[in-house]
Amino acid sequence: MDTIADPNITFDDHGVCNYYHEYQIKNGSLPQTEEEKEKAFQCVVEKIKQNAAGRKYDCILGVSGGVDSSYIAWLAKQAGLRPLAVHFDNGWNSDIADENVKNIIRHTGFDLVTISMDGDEYRDIQLAYLKASVVDIEAPTDHAVFTTLYKIAGRHGIKYILSGTNHQTECTMPKSWNFSKRDHVNIKAIHKQFGTLPLNTFPLMDFCMKRFYMKKHALESISLLHFVDYNKEEAKKVIASGFGWKDYGGKHYESIWTRFYQGYILPVKFNIDKRKAHLSDLIFGGQMTKEEALAELQKPVYDHAQLAEDKKFVLKKLGISEKQLDEMMEAPTRSHYDFDHEMPIDQRYPFLKPVKKLYRAFKPVR
C-alpha cells in the first residue's frame, strides 16, 4: 500500500502504515493460541446448536463457490451444524463457481435455496452505476445478498448467519475504494438518476426492515473463520480434497462481473489495484512475504486473453457497444456522497433533534 493507492494512508515514525496497526488491533481481539481458538469455536457452535434445538436449520450460509464460503461450509459440516445454504445468482456466475456450489451441496447434503435476480432490473442497476461513475459498482449485489439472507433467515426463524468476513484476508480496505453495502438510499438515488426501469423485484432493505430483523429477530452474523487458523492456500487444499472444489483465480473471481470490475474497471478508471490490499493482509498474517507480494504485483492484473473474452461477454450481457463502455470509463469519477445517502434521522430531519434528546432522557434502562 502507498499514497498512490490510497491518498489517506498514514505512516508512523518507523514507516509502518495505519493498516498494519489496525490489523494487529483486530487480530489482538481474537483468540490467539490453538487451544483458545478451539475453545471459542466449540462455544460458538454450541450456542448455535442450542438456540435452534428442535428446528430443521440452526443457521444460514451464503454459498458463492468462492474460497471463503466453501471453507465455511466445510467447517460447518465438520462441526455438525445444520445450515440452510443460500446461493444468490445475479446472472454473472462463472461455470467453475456453479460447479463448486453443486459439489458443496452434494458432499454436505445441505438444503439449498437459489435466489435469481431479474436480469433486466439488475442490468439496469449495473448500467446506472457505470453511468454514475462511482467506485463501488458491487454495492447493489452485496446489498441484495444481505437483504436476501436476512429475509430467508427471518422466514425460517434462524438467528445466526455464517459470514465469510475475516480479518485474515479482508482487513485492509481504504474507505475511498468502496461504500456502505447497506445504504439503500444511495442505491435508489443513483438508480433514480441513471436507471430506466422500475425496481419491482430488487431486494432493498430500508431502515424499518433493518430494525425489524436486527431487533425483533435479533439476527447475528458469525464468522467461523475468526476461530480457526485460516490460511487461504491450505483452505483451498482442504475444499479441493473434500468437495472437489476448483480454483477460479483471483479473489472473488467466481463472478465474471467481479473479475471484470476488479481487473479492468477499477485499475483503468479509478487507478485501484485491489491486489495491494489483499496481499497486504497476507503479509500482515505471515502467509506471504513482502518480496513474494511485490513479485505477484509484477504480473498483469488481467490476463490479456481472458480480458478480451470477458469484455465481449460483458458488452453483450449489458447490451452496450464498446464505444458506450469507453465513454463511461472516460467520464470523470464521482463520489457516492454526490448522491443522496443514508444518514442519522436527526441529520436528515434536524427538527427531530429535540425529540431524540427527550427519547434518550426518558428511555428505560434495561
User: pLDDT digits over 238-254, tens only?
Assistant: 999 889 888 876 555 67
Residue 95 has pLDDT above 90, yes or no: no
Q: Is residue 360 very low, low, confident or very high in pLDDT (cuts 50, 70, 90)?
A: low
Question: What phi-psi label fits residue 204: left (phi over 0), alpha (psi between -120 and 50 degrees) or beta?
Answer: beta
Quick one: pLDDT at residue 196? 95
pLDDT mean over 315-344: 93
Nearest to 173 by CA among 243, 252, 82: 252
Cβ atoms of 23 and 171 closer than 8 Å: yes
Residue 358 has pLDDT above 80, yes or no: no
| 152-161, 310-319, 338-347: range with highest mean pLDDT | 310-319
Residue 212 has pLDDT above 80, yes or no: no
| Full set of structural domains in the chain with CATH | 18-338 (3.40.50.620)
Cβ atoms of 146 and 154 closer than 8 Å: no
Parallel, antiparallel, or unpaired for β 160-162 and 59-62? parallel
User: What pTM was estimated for this model as a whole?
Assistant: 0.85
Quick one: pLDDT at residue 363? 54
CA-angle at 242, arms to 239 and 243, nearest 5°: 75
| H, E, C per residue of the chain | CCCCCCCCCCECCCCCEHHHHHHHHHHHCCCCCHHHHHHHHHHHHHHHHHHCCCCCCCEEEECCCCHHHHHHHHHHHHHCCCEEEEEEECCCECHHHHHHHHHHHHHHCCCEEEEECCHHHHHHHHHHHHHHCCCCCCHHHHHHHHHHHHHHHHHCCCCEEECCCCHHHHCCCCHHHCCCCCCHHHHHHHHHHHCCCCCCCCCCCCHHHHHHHHHHCCCEEECHHHHCCCCHHHHHHHHHHHHCCCCCCCCCCCEHHHHHHHHHHHHHHCCCCCHHHHHHHHHHCCCCCHHHHHHHHCCCCCCHHHHHHHHHHHHHHHCCCHHHHHHHHHCCCCCHHHCCCCCCHHHHCHHHHHHHHHHHHHCCCC
CA-angle at 83, arms to 237 and 152, nearest 5°: 125
Residue 219 has pLDDT above 90, yes or no: no
CA-angle at 139, arms to 92 and 252, nearest 5°: 50
Terminal CA-to-CA distance of the chain, rounded, Å?
45
Nearest to 204 by CA among 186, 231, 225: 186
Cβ atoms of 93 and 255 closer than 8 Å: yes
Other CB atoms within a 10 A radius of the CB of residue 238 amount to 16
CA-angle at 87, arms to 180 and 210, nearest 5°: 40
User: pLDDT digits over 23-40, tens only?
Assistant: 888 888 887 888 888 998
Other CB atoms within a 10 A radius of the CB of residue 66 amount to 21
Neighbour-count burial of 70, counting CB atoms closer than 10 A to its CB (0-12 exposed, 13-18 middle, 19+ buried):
buried
Q: 146 is written with which cell numbers?
A: 444481505
Cβ atoms of 346 and 352 closer than 8 Å: yes
User: pLDDT digits over 259-300, tens only?
Assistant: 999 999 999 999 999 999 989 999 998 888 999 999 999 999
Q: Is residue 169 very low, low, confident or very high in pLDDT (cuts 50, 70, 90)?
A: confident
Q: In the chain, pLDDT over 90 holds for what percent of residues?
A: 51
Quick one: pLDDT at residue 91? 84
Q: Is residue 353 very low, low, confident or very high in pLDDT (cuts 50, 70, 90)?
A: low
Phi, psi for 61 (deg, rounded to 5): -135, 120
